[in-house]
Amino acid sequence: MEITIKGRNISVTEALEDYAREKVSRLSRFFDDERSAARAEVELIHERNPSIPEPEVAETTLFINGAVLRARGSSPDMYASIDLMSDKLERQVRRYRGRQIDRWHGQIKKGGSQKPQEESKILQDEDEIEAKIVRTKQFQMKPMSPEEAALQMELLDHDFYVFTSAETGEINVVYRRRDGNYGLIEPAR
């Protein structure tokens, strides 16, 4: 697995880099075959704002077979933040691989090829948390601008808002970013 480590507002010492690399490289056991070309980008951040109680942040983005997994951990100590981040990322990887294996089992039932033994070992004796849809909402989406959607989001006190763009007629999402600004997600054309 290719691992890139960089720092923001912090000088990344060799010990810190080695610790982060070791924690993230443990995930490579889930991607031991050459078809799973995984790449990880680790960013170690020191938040300079004194009002933030947990200023040491470790963020990792894992790119695997077109999927993107992201985890973030924050605490007063950078090493603890790396531990939190790696635990979260490992849970996400387990869930991701479990879903891949479930799809694989579906192909076998439909007459697909046999599955390698190594992949079946991954989930043995693992506690897997499976997300369930517990509520479904339906609502009318009138065409609006991103600014109007952001206003609606604030009025509803939500972190995101799905709307139809008045400009393109496509479904878009406006969301609140951690820095307090807004983001807009548009479909690729």
Per-residue pLDDT for 172 more than 80?
yes
pLDDT computed for residue 180 by the predictor:
80
From the list 43, 58, 45, 42, the residue with the least C-alpha distance to 9 is 45
- Cβ burial, residue 100 (10 Å; 0-12/13-18/19+): middle
* Average pLDDT across the chain, whole number: 81
In the chain, where are the structural domains located? 2-121, 143-185
* For residue 81, pLDDT beyond 80: yes
Which fold would CATH assign to domain 143-185? Answer: SHC Adaptor Protein (3.30.505)
- d(CA 43, CA 9) in angstroms, rounded, equals 11
Residue-level pLDDT at 102: 57
Lookup: tokens for 178: 């951690």
- Band (pLDDT 50/70/90 cuts) for residue 101 is low
Side-chain-side CA neighbours of residue 148 (13 Å): 11
Query: Maximum CA pair distance of the chain?
Result: 60
For 86-109, the DSSP string reads HHHHHHHHHHHHHHHHHHHHHHHH
Backbone angles phi, psi at 154, to 5 degrees: -65, -40
Q: In what order do the strands lie in the sheet with 67-75?
A: 2-8, 38-46, 56-64, 67-75
Which CATH number is 2-121 given? 3.30.160.100
Is-contact 26 54, C-beta < 8 A?
no
Listed range (46-50, 95-99, 123-127, 155-159) with the worst mean pLDDT: 123-127
Look at residue 12 in the predicted model and tell me its pLDDT.
92
pTM of the predicted model as reported, rounded to 2 decimal places: 0.57
Residue-wise pLDDT tens digits, 111-135: 544 444 444 444 433 444 556 777 8
Residue type, 16: L
Alpha helices (H) along the chain: 14-25, 78-109, 117-121, 146-156
